[in-house]
C-alpha cells in the first residue's frame, strides 16, 4: 500500500462536497408517500376483489391456511401494481443460515411468440420459487449434489418494491426449504414459533375467560446501532474492508471518555445521510422514529416503532441494507460489525419484546396495580421461568465471533442471562413467594423539578438497568445482547419458543388445579409462588458488570458462556432439543445443523482475521517499522561518526517491538496450520478461540506500540484519530 492511500483519504474527506440533490420534505411530505412502495393492506383493499381480500386477511390476522384458489388473483393484481411502479423483475427474499438477506431475480416479462413480450406472474410463481439448496450453509442437511431448494411466500409480511437508479423490482418475503422439507432459513422457525406462542397463550387466556379473535403475536422493537466512517478510510484499511473491524490501531488521545458524542449534535453530512435513509424507509412503510448519536465517536442509532415480530425482523433487514446502500451516496461506509474499533463501545441491536394483539394490547402491561393484575403476573412469571430454564440456549442465539468482542465488555450486557424487574415488580413477586400478598406495591412518584414554570413530573415505579441482558422496561422486556450485524430472527424465535413452553407449563398447572376444585385466584397464587421459588435465581437488579455479580451468578448456578465455542453447544442439549421439538419449531437434526453452521462461521471468521493480520503485519506494518529503524540507525551512526556517543531509546523500542510482532505472526501462522488439520468443528472452534485469537491479539499489541513510535510520514494505515473523528 502506498503512502498516498492514507493521505488521499484525508484529502478526500477534507474536500468532500455533497453530490446528492437535497430532499424537500416540505414539498413532498412523508405522510403523502409513506408506504407507497408496499403492497400493504391499503393497496390490497383497493385493488383486490372483496372476497379475495377478506380471505387473505383471515390468513394474515387469524392464521388460517391460505386458500390456493385466490393465489392467481392476488398474483395478477400484485403484478399489475408492481409494473405500475416500474418493476421488470421479482424476487423471493429470504434469510439463509448465513444470517444475511438472499435474493434471486426473475423476469416478469415473457416472450409472446410474436416478437413481443407479455407480463407473466401466476399464483404458483407467487407461492413458490426455486433456489439452490446446497450453495447455502446447511450443516450437512444437503449434499453438494442435492441442489433443489424452494422459497415459499410468507403471506403475513407484505410484498414491496425496491428502487434502483436504473429501475425497480418486486420483493416477496419468503421462507426457504430444501426439497425434503428441511428448514434452511431463519424465517420458517420464526413463523412456527409464532404459532406455538399463539397456541399456548390462548390456553392461558381462556382460563381467564378471554377468547380473542385475533392471534396472539410477538411484538418487537429493534434498535439498530452502527458506525459511519468515510469510505476512503475503509479502502485504506484492508482489515476494515474485509473483516468489518480494525485488527490494528493504537488508541487515540481522546475516545468517548468525555461523553460528548452521545446525543450530541449530529454532524451535517451524517444528518443528511440519516434523512435520506428515512426517506427511503418511509416509502417501504418502515416506521422509523428515532435517530441520534450513540456513545462512541462515529457511532449512531436508528430505531422504528414496535411492530409484529415477523414484520419487525423483515424491516430490520431492510434497514441494514438501506443503511449500507445510502451510505455510499454520501461517500461513507456503514459498519454493522459489533466491535469495529477497540477501546470504544461496540454496537448492538436491542430487541424490545412483548406479546399480545390489537384487541388486548401487550400482555406484559402491569397496569397501575400489578399486584392485582393476574394475567400480567402469569405472563411475566412465565418469562422468568423461560429465561431461567433456557438462558444458555438464548445466549447461544446471539453467539458469534464478532459479538464475542462486545458481550461482557462493560459496554453491553454480560454473557450471563439474567432478568432485571425493577423494585416494584421484584417486591410484588417476593410477596407471592413469601405467601403474604398485601395488595400493595411501589407506585409512581411525583418529581419536583425546582423550576417554577414546570409542573411536577410523574416518574416510573422503578429505574432502568443498562447492564442487564433482559430488562423489564414498563410494558416489555428489552433483550440487549443481540449483535448489531445479526438477524433478529434467531433470538426472537428463541424467545417465542421459550415463552410457548412456559405458558404451556402455566396452562397445565392452572388447568390441573381448577380440575381439583381450586379457585382461579388461588391457583394463580400458587403458580406464581412456585415459579418464583424455583426460578428467582435469574432475577438480578444490580450491576451486571461487577465481579461481585459474576461470583454471585456462579453461586446461583447461572451459566457464564463467555465465548461462542462455549455457548453454541447449548443448541443441542437434550433440554433444548426437547423444547424445540415439543413446540414444533425445529427438529433435532435441524438444531444440529445450526450448531455446526454457527461453529463453522466462527472458525471461518477467525481464520479470515488471522490471515489478514499476518498479511497486514508483514506487508504494511513491518516495512514501515524497518524503514524507520533504518533512519534511526543512520542518525545514530552519523552522530557517532562525529564523536558523539548517542543511543536512541526509540530505536531499541522499535527493534524489540518488531521482533515480538514477528514472533506473534509466526505463532498465528502455526495456529492456523494446526487448526486446519482438525476434523471436529467444536474442537476446531475452541482452538481458534483459545490459541489463534490470542496470537492475533499478540501481533496487535506490538503493532499498536509501533504505531506510537514510527514516524507518522512512514505509517500507511489511517489512524483511529483520523477514522473516528474525520466527518
Helices (H), 617-676: 622-641, 649-676
Q: Which of 25, 73, 32, 77 is nearest to 51 (CA)?
A: 73
Neighbouring CB atoms inside 10 A of 440's CB total: 12
Q: Is the pLDDT of residue 438 over 70?
A: no
User: How far is Cα 404 from Cα 396, in angstroms, rounded to an integer?
Assistant: 11
CB of 202 within 8 A of CB of 209?
A: no
Q: Is the dihedral of CA 18, 20, 25, 30 positive or negative?
A: negative
What three-state secondary structure class fits 364? Answer: coil
pTM for this model (two decimals): 0.93
Question: What is the model's pLDDT at position 287?
Answer: 95
Q: Is the pLDDT of residue 409 over 80?
A: no
Question: What is the model's pLDDT at position 412?
Answer: 79
**DSSP states along 163-216:** EETTEEEEEEEEEEEETT--B-BSHHHHHHHHHHHHHHHHHHHHHTT---SSPP
State the average pLDDT over residues 642-668. 87
User: How far is Cα 670 from Cα 574, in angstroms, rounded to an integer?
Assistant: 37
Question: What is the model's pLDDT at position 147?
Answer: 63
Percent of the chain clearing pLDDT 90 (strictly above): 66
pLDDT digits (tens, 9 = 90+) for 712-723: 999 999 999 999
Q: Which of 226-230, 306-310, 322-326, 424-428 has the lowest average pLDDT?
A: 424-428
Q: Which of 116-120, 372-376, 702-706, 721-725 has the lowest average pLDDT?
A: 116-120
CB of 497 within 8 A of CB of 400?
A: no
Q: pLDDT confidence of 98, banded at 50, 70, 90?
A: confident
User: How far is Cα 561 from Cα 101, in angstroms, rounded to an integer?
Assistant: 28
- Cell numbers that stand for 83 in this block: 409494473
pLDDT digits (tens, 9 = 90+) for 186-221: 999 999 999 999 999 999 999 999 999 999 999 999
* Residues constituting the chain: 727
What three-state secondary structure class fits 9? Answer: helix
Beta bridge partners of 91: 105, 171
- Cell numbers that stand for 605 in this block: 471468521
- Cell numbers that stand for 690 in this block: 483459545
CB of 151 within 8 A of CB of 132?
A: no
Q: Kindly report the backbone phi and psi dihedral angles of residue 308, in degrees, each rounded to the nearest multiple of 5, phi listed first.
A: -60, 145
Question: What is the model's pLDDT at position 465?
Answer: 66
User: How far is Cα 252 from Cα 249, in angstroms, rounded to an integer?
Assistant: 9
Mean pLDDT of the chain: 89
- Cell numbers that stand for 694 in this block: 490470542
User: How far is Cα 468 from Cα 416, in angstroms, rounded to an integer?
Assistant: 9
State the average pLDDT over residues 589-594. 94
Q: Is the pLDDT of residue 26 over 80?
A: no
- 514 Cβ contact partners less than 8 Å away, ≥ 6 residues apart: 207, 520, 523
Question: What is the model's pLDDT at position 640?
Answer: 75
CB of 492 within 8 A of CB of 309?
A: yes
Beta bridge partners of 79: none
For the chain, helix (H) and strand (E) counts, in that order, are 24, 20
Q: pLDDT confidence of 645, banded at 50, 70, 90?
A: low
Q: Is the pLDDT of residue 547 over 70?
A: yes
> Rounded to a whole number, what is the distance in angstroms from the first to the last CA of the chain?
23
User: How far is Cα 719 from Cα 727, in angstroms, rounded to an integer?
Assistant: 14
Q: pLDDT confidence of 442, banded at 50, 70, 90?
A: low
User: How far is Cα 175 from Cα 189, in angstroms, rounded to an integer?
Assistant: 9
pLDDT digits (tens, 9 = 90+) for 115-174: 776 777 888 888 887 776 667 766 666 655 566 778 888 999 999 999 998 999 999 999
User: How far is Cα 392 from Cα 538, in angstroms, rounded to an integer?
Assistant: 12
Q: What angle do CA 9, 292, 225 make, to 5 degrees?
A: 70
Q: Kindly report the backbone phi and psi dihedral angles of residue 63, in degrees, each rounded to the nearest multiple of 5, phi listed first.
A: 75, 15
State the average pLDDT over residues 326-352. 94
Q: Is the pLDDT of residue 25 over 50?
A: yes
State the average pLDDT over residues 73-101. 91
State the average pLDDT over residues 608-637. 94
CB of 78 within 8 A of CB of 159?
A: yes
Q: Is the pLDDT of residue 441 over 70?
A: no
pLDDT digits (tens, 9 = 90+) for 30-74: 888 899 999 999 999 999 999 999 999 988 888 888 888 888 899
CB of 229 within 8 A of CB of 688?
A: no
User: How far is Cα 43 from Cα 724, in angstroms, rounded to an integer?
Assistant: 44
User: How far is Cα 240 from Cα 706, in angstroms, rounded to an integer?
Assistant: 19
- Cell numbers that stand for 616 in this block: 497486514
Q: Which of 351, 352, 346, 336 is nearest to 482 (CA)?
A: 351
- 437 versus 617: the higher-pLDDT residue is 617
Distances 65 to 92, 108, 178, 674 between C-alpha atoms, Å:
20, 27, 21, 52
Q: pLDDT confidence of 181, banded at 50, 70, 90?
A: confident
Q: Is the pLDDT of residue 1 over 50?
A: no
CB of 620 within 8 A of CB of 706?
A: no
DSSP letter (8 states) at residue 586: -
Neighbouring CB atoms inside 10 A of 372's CB total: 15
Q: pLDDT confidence of 447, banded at 50, 70, 90?
A: very low
User: How far is Cα 496 from Cα 504, in angstroms, rounded to an integer?
Assistant: 12
DSSP letter (8 states) at residue 25: T
**DSSP states along 93-150:** EB-BTTSS-B--EEESEEE-SSSSEEE---HHHHHEEEEESSSS--TTSS-TT--EEE
Q: Is the pLDDT of residue 457 over 60?
A: no
Q: Is the pLDDT of residue 440 over 70?
A: no
Question: What is the model's pLDDT at position 453?
Answer: 53
- 16 versus 603: the higher-pLDDT residue is 603
Amino acid at each position: 500500500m502506498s503512502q498516498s492511500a492514507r493521505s488521499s483519504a484525508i484529502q478526500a474527506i477534507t474536500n468532500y462536497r455533497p453530490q446528492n440533490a437535497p430532499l424537500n420534505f416540505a414539498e413532498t411530505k412523508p405522510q403523502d408517500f409513506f408506504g407507497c412502495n408496499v403492497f400493504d393492506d391499503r393497496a390490497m383493499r383497493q385493488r383486490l376483489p372483496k372476497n379475495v381480500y377478506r380471505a387473505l386477511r383471515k390468513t394474515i390476522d387469524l392464521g388460517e391456511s391460505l386458500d390456493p384458489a385466490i393465489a392467481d388473483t392476488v398474483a395478477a393484481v400484485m403484478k399489475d401494481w408492481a409494473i405500475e411502479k416500474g418493476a421488470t423483475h421479482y424476487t423471493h427474499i429470504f434469510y439463509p443460515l448465513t444470517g444475511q438477506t438472499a435474493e434471486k431475480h426473475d423476469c416478469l416479462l415473457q416472450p409472446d411468440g410474436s416478437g413481443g413480450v407479455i407480463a407473466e406472474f401466476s399464483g404458483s410463481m407467487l407461492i413458490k420459487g426455486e433456489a439452490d439448496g446446497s450453495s447455502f450453509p446447511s450443516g450437512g442437511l444437503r449434499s453438494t449434489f442435492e441442489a433443489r431448494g424452494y422459497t415459499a411466500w410468507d403471506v403475513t409480511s407484505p410484498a414491496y418494491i425496491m428502487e434502483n437508479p436504473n429501475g425497480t423490482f418486486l420483493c416477496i418475503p419468503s421462507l426457504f426449504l430444501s426439497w425434503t422439507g428441511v428448514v434452511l432459513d431463519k424465517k420458517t422457525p420464526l413463523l412456527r414459533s409464532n404459532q406455538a406462542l399463539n397456541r399456548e397463550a390462548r390456553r392461558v387466556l381462556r382460563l381467564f375467560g378471554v377468547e380473542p379473535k385475533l392471534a396472539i403475536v410477538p411484538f418487537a422493537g429493534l434498535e439498530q446501532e452502527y458506525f459511519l466512517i468515510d469510505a476512503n478510510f475503509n479502502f485504506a484499511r484492508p482489515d476494515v474492508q474485509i473483516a468489518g473491524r480494525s485488527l490494528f490501531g493504537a488508541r487515540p488521545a481522546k475516545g468517548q471518555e468525555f461523553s460528548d458524542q452521545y446525543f450530541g449534535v449530529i454532524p451535517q453530512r451524517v444528518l443528511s445521510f440519516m434523512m435520506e435513509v428515512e426517506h427511503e424507509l418511509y416509502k417501504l412503510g418502515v416506521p422509523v422514529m428515532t435517530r441520534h448519536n450513540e456513545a462512541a465517536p462515529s457511532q449512531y442509532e436508528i430505531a422504528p416503532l414496535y411492530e409484529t415480530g415477523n414484520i419487525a425482523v423483515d424491516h430490520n433487514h431492510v434497514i441494514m441494507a438501506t443503511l449500507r446502500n445510502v451510505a455510499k451516496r454520501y461517500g461513507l461506509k456503514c459498519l454493522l460489525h459489533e466491535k469495529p474499533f477497540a477501546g470504544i463501545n461496540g454496537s448492538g441491536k436491542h430487541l424490545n419484546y412483548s406479546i399480545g394483539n390489537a384487541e388486548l394490547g401487550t400482555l406484559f402491561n402491569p397496569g397501575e396495580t400489578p399486584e392485582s393484575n393476574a394475567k400480567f403476573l402469569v405472563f411475566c412469571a412465565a418469562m422468568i421461568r423461560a429465561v431461567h430454564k433456557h438462558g444458555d440456549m438464548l445466549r447461544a442465539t446471539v453467539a458469534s465471533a464478532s459479538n464475542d468482542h462486545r458481550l461482557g465488555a462493560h459496554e453491553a450486557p454480560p454473557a450471563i442471562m439474567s432478568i432485571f424487574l425493577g423494585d416494584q415488580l421484584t417486591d410484588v413477586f417476593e410477596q407471592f413467594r413469601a405467601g403474604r400478598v398485601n395488595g400493595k406495591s411501589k407506585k409512581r412518584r411525583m418529581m419536583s423539578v425546582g423550576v417554577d414554570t414546570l409542573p411536577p413530573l410523574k416518574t416510573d415505579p422503578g429505574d432502568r438497568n443498562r447492564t442487564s441482558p433482559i430488562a423489564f422496561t414498563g410494558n416489555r422486556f428489552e433483550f440487549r445482547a443481540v449483535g448489531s450485524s445479526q438477524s433478529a430472527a434467531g433470538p426472537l424465535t428463541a424467545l417465542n419458543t421459550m415463552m410457548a413452553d412456559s405458558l404451556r407449563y402455566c396452562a397445565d398447572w392452572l388447568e390441573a388445579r381448577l380440575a381439583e376444585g381450586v379457585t382461579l385466584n388461588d391457583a394463580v397464587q400458587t403458580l406464581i409462588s412456585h415459579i418464583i421459588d424455583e426460578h428467582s435465581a435469574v432475577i438480578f437488579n444490580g450491576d451486571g458488570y461487577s465481579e461481585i455479580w459474576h461470583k454471585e451468578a456462579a453461586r446461583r448456578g447461572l451459566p457464564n458462556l463467555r465465548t461462542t465455542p462455549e455457548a453454541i453447544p447449548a443448541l443441542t442439549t437434550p433440554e433444548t432439543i426437547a423444547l424445540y421439538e415439543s413446540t414444533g419449531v425445529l427438529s433435532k437434526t435441524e438444531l444440529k445443523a445450526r450448531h455446526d453452521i454457527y461453529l463453522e462461521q466462527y472458525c471461518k471468521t477467525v481464520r479470515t482475521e488471522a490471515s489478514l493480520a499476518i498479511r497486514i503485519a508483514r506487508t504494511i506494518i513491518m516495512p514501515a517499522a524497518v524503514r524507520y529503524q533504518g533512519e534511526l540507525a543512520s542518525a545514530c551512526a552519523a552522530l557517532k561518526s562525529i564523536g558523539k556517543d548517542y543511543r536512541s531509546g526509540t530505536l531499541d523500542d522499535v527493534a524489540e517491538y518488531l521482533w515480538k510482532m514477528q514472533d506473534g505472526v509466526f505463532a498465528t501462522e502455526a495456529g492456523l496450520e494446526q487448526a486446519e488439520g482438525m476434523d471436529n468443528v467444536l474442537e476446531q472452534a475452541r482452538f481458534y478461540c483459545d490459541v489463534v485469537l490470542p496470537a492475533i491479539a499478540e501481533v496487535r499489541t506490538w503493532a499498536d506500540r509501533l504505531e506510537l513510535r514510527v514516524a507518522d510520514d512512514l505509517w500507511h494505515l489511517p489512524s483511529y484519530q483520523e477514522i473516528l473523528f474525520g466527518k
